[in-house]
């Protein structure tokens, strides 16, 4: 995790780096720091806290002049978040300064060696070890910074995206990547470095995304030289034209990114199926599926690997694939799968789901599956991300940037892509009739407007949030397609409001969680008309007889649940497999309003980061 930014060119580096760090705060926000070269020396300032704290401190502390600089926003891995452990870190001589996103796994052994050679350390970080290792190599081999970085990184085990410069050669920044993302923006006689393209989008649309095990030497007034870390060989980098625009990464009048992203869902879902869902022609066109249809049709099973909300989308996919395409599906936590010695064969298709495309565990699960010969298909949001590149084929969700740490539009657009895939395979396998297929397409096309209608419950959801905001626990129940939605609702609440919440399949309640129910327990029950409705109504009765407070998510016009529940929130009617796209909306709003009412930092909840690039 952590966000890194750098600049070398003709402008003042400070405002670019500070603004860039603010855009990257979704990656980590427990401390921040910056190092600028002001023409004679390095000016460095760092602090525990957010980029805004750094800004306040820095403008009183150091001069902010200079056309070269690097900055960092941290999510602590080695060492508690404090001023000393914050990045950038100096080498012992004070000549080199580094920022790092990732983990150096063998840092302890390297540190012991360096201590033997007389190096001292101020922080508890692996990063300070790395900068001193580079310095040690540079001195011993009497070599330039770029070569020293290359030699040093060959001794390192772990993951990194780094940027380092030498105050004695203040016209170059050396960057390198393995496992953590790093983009280089190519401007007009200026270069930008960042964990993603958002810090430099208003300056240039041209970017190089470094591949794993690549490094680049970025010199003022020169071209970027990309090399392989392993053998120093020169690489011809691919300069990509970015599609992102500034408006997409700003709040656009909303108080929080999360709320903006909740409200963006009708459009995001539409963007996901645009050009892919052709209801007039009764067609679904997904290049990644068409090109690999044989593999999907020959698959013994589909294994989904993902984490967090993306894992919940995978659970929804399990229902859709099995129901429509009759393909057995197993949904795995990537973190468990990668270490379990799982049985995988060449006849398995693995679908990896990830908003960021950078989640370390998902990436490792993909590599494992590939090494066993499975075909791996990615469902990612971030274009050009590590997972998008690592998979054999894939389909983007096209949700646009998701900045709030709590996933919202990523979830619904993942479900949309997975539904398209399931329908396409169902048609190819003949497990769905042409009229059913057409009906599904038509229904899916109506979903954006229905999501819009579901969003109209916002005012009433706020009223409910106000009533239950002080509850200590919440239970979320759903069945079938809506069981994963119950899990997702509970995750949303706990991650942004810090209220304990559990999601359960409604019928499992009587096997344990029912003991928790009393008059203080709010229970959110998804009870839409399609899918086990009567059974869920019985579950509601069980809760009511134990005095639990019931918040029902029901199909518009429902009367039965209204009679039993304390509150009902209506969503429009749709076919069963599409209900998660609607029932999830009030749950997102409920978590959001409770968190806001409790004064929590909705977009940057404590201890979390948007992109989890550590295992």
What token pair was written down for 195?
Answer: 């964990």
Complex with ligand M6R: residue 77 or 359, whichever CB lies closer: 359
Complex with ligand M6R: residue 127 or 309, whichever CB lies closer: 309
Q: Tell me the closest approach of the beta carbon of residue 354 to ligand M6R, in angstroms.
A: 3
In sequence order, what are the residues at sequence separation of 6 or more whose Cβ sits closer than 8 angstroms to the Cβ of residue 393?
A: 288, 291, 292, 375, 377, 378
Complex with ligand M6R: residue 67 or 362, whichever CB lies closer: 362
Residue 376 CA to residue 351 CA, distance in Å, equals 6
> Cis (ω within 30 of 0) for the bond into 88?
yes
Q: Which residues contact ligand M6R (rule: CB under 6 A)?
A: 307-310, 354-356, 359, 362, 405-407, 491, 495, 608, 612
Q: Tell me the closest approach of the beta carbon of residue 174 to ligand M6R, in angstroms.
A: 28
In sequence order, what are the residues at sequence separation of 6 or more whose Cβ sits closer than 8 angstroms to the Cβ of residue 280?
A: none
Sign of CA dihedral 447, 452, 453, 456: positive
Q: Annotated catalytic, 2?
A: yes
Q: Tell me the closest approach of the beta carbon of residue 175 to ligand M6R, in angstroms.
A: 23
Report CA-CA distances (Å) from 107 to 83, 139, 154, 155, 359: 20, 20, 13, 10, 22
Which residue is catalytic, options 2, 307, 380, 577?
A: 2
Report CA-CA distances (Å) from 510 to 10, 489, 505, 518, 537: 67, 20, 10, 14, 14
Place of tokens 């080199």: 96
Residue 165 CA to residue 96 CA, distance in Å, equals 6
Q: Tell me the closest approach of the beta carbon of residue 306 to ligand M6R, in angstroms.
A: 6
What token pair was written down for 187?
Answer: 């401007």
- Tell me which DSSP letter residue 546 carries: T
Residue 161 half-sphere exposure, CB side, CA atoms within 13 Å? 30
Q: Tell me the closest approach of the beta carbon of residue 609 to ligand M6R, in angstroms.
A: 8
Instruction: Please say whether the beta carbons of 287 and 279 come within 8 A.
Output: no
Give the angle subtended at the CA of 267 by the CAs of 264 and 273, to the nearest 5°. 135
Parallel, antiparallel, or unpaired for β 473-478 and 500-505?
Answer: parallel
Judge residue 155's burial from the number of C-beta atoms within 10 Å of its C-beta, 0-12 exposed, 13-18 middle, 19 or more buried: middle
Instruction: Please say whether the beta carbons of 97 and 149 come within 8 A.
Output: no
In sequence order, what are the residues at sequence separation of 6 or more whose Cβ sits closer than 8 angstroms to the Cβ of residue 287?
A: none
CB closest to ligand M6R, residue no: 308
Complex with ligand M6R: residue 190 or 196, whichever CB lies closer: 196
Q: Tell me the closest approach of the beta carbon of residue 475 to ligand M6R, in angstroms.
A: 19
- Tell me which DSSP letter residue 391 carries: S
Q: Tell me the closest approach of the beta carbon of residue 358 to ligand M6R, in angstroms.
A: 7
Instruction: Please say whether the beta carbons of 73 and 29 come within 8 A.
Output: yes
Place of tokens 């199909």: 555
Report CA-CA distances (Å) from 488 to 412, 451, 516: 11, 17, 20
Complex with ligand M6R: residue 16 or 268, whichever CB lies closer: 268
Q: Tell me the closest approach of the beta carbon of residue 256 to ligand M6R, in angstroms.
A: 14
Show the 3-state SS of 547-595.
CCEEEEEEECCCCHHHHHCCEEEEECCCCHHHHHHHHHHHHHHHHHHHH
Complex with ligand M6R: residue 166 or 196, whichever CB lies closer: 196
Q: Tell me the closest approach of the beta carbon of residue 316 to ligand M6R, in angstroms.
A: 14
Q: Tell me the closest approach of the beta carbon of residue 406 to ligand M6R, in angstroms.
A: 4
Report CA-CA distances (Å) from 191 to 146, 246, 512: 17, 18, 58
- Tell me which DSSP letter residue 324 carries: I
Complex with ligand M6R: residue 471 or 608, whichever CB lies closer: 608
Extract the runs of DSSP E, i.e. beta strands, from 419-536: 473-478, 500-505, 522-527
Complex with ligand M6R: residue 36 or 352, whichever CB lies closer: 352
Complex with ligand M6R: residue 29 or 203, whichever CB lies closer: 29
What token pair was written down for 359?
Answer: 């989640």
Complex with ligand M6R: residue 101 or 354, whichever CB lies closer: 354
Which residue is catalytic, options 43, 50, 492, 610?
A: 610
Complex with ligand M6R: residue 135 or 361, whichever CB lies closer: 361
Q: Which of 453, 444, 409 is nearest to 426 (CA)?
A: 444
Complex with ligand M6R: residue 414 or 574, whichever CB lies closer: 414
Judge residue 573's burial from the number of C-beta atoms within 10 Å of its C-beta, 0-12 exposed, 13-18 middle, 19 or more buried: middle
Q: Tell me the closest approach of the beta carbon of residue 563 to ligand M6R, in angstroms.
A: 34
Judge residue 501's burial from the number of C-beta atoms within 10 Å of its C-beta, 0-12 exposed, 13-18 middle, 19 or more buried: buried
Q: Tell me the closest approach of the beta carbon of residue 199 to ligand M6R, in angstroms.
A: 19
| Residues designated as active site | 2, 610
């Amino acid at each position: 995790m952590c966000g890194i930014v750098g600049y070398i060119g003709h402008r003042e580096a400070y405002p670019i780096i500070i603004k860039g760090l603010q855009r990257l705060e979704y990656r980590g926000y427990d401390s921040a720091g910056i190092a600028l070269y002001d023409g004679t020396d390095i000016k460095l300032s760092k602090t525990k806290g957010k980029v805004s704290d750094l800004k306040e401190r820095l403008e009183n502390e150091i001069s902010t002049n200079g056309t070269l600089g690097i900055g960092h926003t941290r999510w602590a891995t080695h060492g508690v978040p404090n001023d000393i452990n914050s990045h950038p870190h100096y080498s012992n001589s004070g000549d080199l300064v580094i920022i790092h996103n990732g983990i150096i796994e063998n840092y302890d052994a390297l540190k012991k060696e360096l201590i033997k050679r007389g190096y001292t350390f101020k922080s508890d970080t692996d990063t300070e070890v790395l900068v001193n290792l580079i310095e040690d190599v540079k001195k011993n081999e009497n070599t330039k910074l770029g070569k020293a970085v290359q030699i040093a990184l060959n001794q390192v085990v772990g993951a990194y995206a780094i940027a380092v410069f030498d105050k004695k050669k203040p016209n170059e920044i050396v960057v390198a990547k393995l496992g953590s993302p790093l983009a280089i923006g190519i401007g007009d006689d200026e270069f930008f470095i960042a964990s993603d393209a958002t810090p430099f989008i208003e300056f240039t649309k041209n970017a190089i995304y470094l591949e794993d095990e690549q490094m680049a030497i970025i010199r003022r007034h020169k071209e970027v030289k990309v090399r392989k870390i392993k053998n120093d060989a020169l690489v011809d980098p691919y300069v990509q034209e970015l599609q992102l625009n500034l408006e997409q990464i700003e709040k656009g009048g909303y108080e929080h990114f999360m709320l903006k992203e909740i409200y963006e869902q009708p459009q995001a879902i539409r963007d996901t199926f645009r050009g892919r869902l052709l209801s007039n022609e009764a067609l679904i066109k997904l290049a990644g599926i068409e090109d690999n249809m044989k593999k999907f049709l020959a698959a013994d099973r589909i294994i989904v690997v993902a984490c967090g909300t993306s894992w919940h989308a995978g659970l929804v996919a399990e229902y859709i694939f099995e129901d429509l395409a009759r393909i057995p599906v197993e949904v795995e936590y990537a973190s468990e799968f990668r270490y379990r010695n799982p049985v995988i064969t060449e006849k398995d298709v693995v679908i990896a789901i990830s908003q960021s495309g950078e989640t370390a565990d998902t990436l490792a699960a993909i590599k494992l599956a590939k090494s066993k010969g499975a075909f791996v298909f990615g469902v990612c949001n971030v274009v050009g991300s590590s997972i998008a590149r690592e998979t054999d084929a894939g389909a983007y969700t096209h949700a646009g940037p998701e900045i709030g740490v709590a996933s919202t539009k990523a979830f619904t657009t993942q479900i949309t892509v997975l539904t398209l895939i399931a329908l396409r395979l169902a048609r190819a396998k003949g497990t769905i009739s042409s009229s059913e297929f057409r009906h599904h397409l038509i229904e899916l096309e109506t979903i954006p407007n229905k999501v819009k209608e579901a969003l109209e419950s916002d005012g009433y959801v706020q009223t409910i949030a106000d009533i239950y905001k002080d509850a200590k626990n919440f239970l979320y129940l759903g069945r079938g397609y809506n069981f994963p939605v119950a899990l997702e609702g509970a995750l949303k609440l706990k991650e942004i409001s810090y209220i304990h919440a559990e999601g359960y399949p409604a019928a499992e309640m009587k096997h344990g969680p029912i003991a928790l129910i009393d008059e203080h327990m709010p229970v959110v029950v998804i009870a839409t008309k399609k899918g086990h409705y009567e059974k869920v109504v019985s579950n509601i009765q069980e809760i009511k007889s134990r005095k639990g407070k019931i918040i029902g998510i029901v199909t518009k016009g429902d009367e039965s649940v209204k009679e039993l529940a304390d509150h009902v929130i209506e969503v429009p009617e749709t076919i069963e497999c599409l209900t998660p796209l609607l029932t999830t909306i009030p749950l997102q709003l409920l978590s959001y309003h409770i968190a806001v009412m409790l004064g929590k930092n909705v977009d940057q909840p404590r201890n979390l980061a948007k992109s989890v690039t550590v295992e």
